[in-house]
Amino acid sequence: MTIEPHGGTLINRMATGARRDSLLSTGKKGTVIQVTDRTVSDIYMIAIGGFSPLEGFINRKDYEAVVETMHLSSGLVFSIPITLGVEESVYRNVKEGEVCPLVDQQGITHAFLTVQDKFERDIRNEARKVYRTEDEAHPGVKKVYEAGKFCLGGPIEYVNSSPQLEFPEHTLLPAETRAEFDRHGWKSVVAFQTRNPIHRAHEYITKCALEVTDGLLIHPLVGETKGDDIPADVRMKCYRVLLDGYYPRKRVMLSVLPAAMRYAGPREAIFHAVMRKNYGCTHFIVGRDHAGVGSYYGTFDAQKIFAEIDVKAFGIEPLMFDNAFWCTVTGSMATEKTSPSSPEQRIMLSGTKVREMLKNSQVPPPEFSRPEVAKILIGWATSA
């Protein structure tokens, strides 16, 4: 593999054997911290190295650096602060150096946190800088406000021996994707982030990217998303049928990303690239309105933000694509760079349009989706 993990080392915070037994027997004496489903996802991503170089939840110094500069205090690019928000009573009572179990709402202990730092954050400043809005209607901002201003920082050790993975057969850890890329002999791998079914525009840009790389990792996010997003199990059926019929099997892999969506637009595009670098990818597709929601971000803001960092030092290469559309003149997918058509001769595609059609029980046309994908989607929409 030709690319190092972010920061140079693939983090592993999985406690095993005697260490896990010790934590489970003695760590329960610490203050119990109840965590949300989103935090459970963050804990797992930290533990498997997906958020490398993080070994736990960030401290004040790193928090302030990430929010203000999109870098950790070490100078390493990092665009989303991974924080652990707690109730004020917990914040006041917990001691630095204390080992605290992180427990979900079902009572399952996922990890233990060694508290190294306690700090209060300015949640509105975080919203402005990271999400570019203070509007609570923004799903990411809403989560920040709900988590509150009291934060604990420190390394974690993961102890849950049977995490509830939604698609275990398609959940490869960063170390495992790296091993698979090596097994295939891929020196360059492009990652495609998606939280939607793959429509024709997605198919077009992924195949363009595959022309200049050895392999393609279709890496759908299956953690927490908005309530109106198409469910992950439906999306997975669409990915499988599309890969079976329309992609070269020896050059494409499907694996899920068990991370939560933040809908942070430009900042999240960089964060998604960090994760894919940790999974071993050398290139990352940044499309139109990446990780966007509503009208909070400009169409190509997620591409423009990469000009604000040192991409060469960052390591993973972003691949920027223009709006892809169905060109009625050529009868094929194209962009303004390749199409002779005028605007009225173009059928513009988007995940939003597909969702709107499904709400109205309309079958997406062939210009939008492959027929096998459209069949799955309309079957879900009409039975929901």
Spatial CA neighbour of 262 closest among 230, 294, 226? 226
DSSP alpha helix (H) spans, the chain? 17-26, 37-48, 60-69, 88-93, 123-126, 139-147, 174-184, 200-210, 232-246, 266-278, 301-304, 311-314, 351-359, 371-383
How far apart, in whole angstroms, are the C-alpha atoms of residue 250 and residue 115?
A: 46
Instruction: Specify the 3-state DSSP secondary structure of 62.
Output: helix
Helices 371-383, 351-359: axis angle to 10 degrees equals 50
93 flagged as catalytic: no
CB-count exposure of residue 328 (10 Å: 0-12, 13-18, 19+) = middle
How far apart, in whole angstroms, are the C-alpha atoms of residue 337 and residue 115?
A: 53
Active-site position among 121, 178, 195, 267: 195
Spatial CA neighbour of 351 closest among 197, 138, 191, 192? 197
How far apart, in whole angstroms, are the C-alpha atoms of residue 384 and residue 382?
A: 6
Cβ–Cβ under 8 Å, residues 188 and 317: no
Strand bridging mode 332-334 / 325-327: antiparallel
360 flagged as catalytic: no
Active-site position among 13, 59, 132, 196: 196
Active site members: 195-196
